[in-house]
Amino acid sequence: MSITQQHLLDTYRARTLGEPAPPAPGTHDRQVVREWRDARRFRAVLAGRPARRGLRDALSRWRRRPTRPAPEAGP
């Protein structure tokens, strides 16, 4: 059963029982990811590690990396 089918079944069941409909799949995904990230940063601080922003910091470090000069062509 797919997530859409499960949602439709839950909506039908809620309607027949007179209960409010459940939220659509994916409604709270951003909030869940944000809370997970904040908890991870908090645990890092408690452990004495720097609380970095992960991907953004890694990309900015990679972008600021000094470039190597091109190898010189032989004679």
pLDDT digits (tens, 9 = 90+) for 6-16: 999 999 999 99
Give the start-to-end residue ranges of the domains of the chain: 3-64
**Locate tokens 């990230």: which residue?**
37
**pLDDT score, position 74:** 59
**pLDDT score, position 34:** 92
E strand map for the chain: none
The string of pLDDT tens digits covering residues 29-65 is 999 999 998 999 899 889 998 777 767 777 887 777 7
CB 20 within 8 Å of CB 14: yes
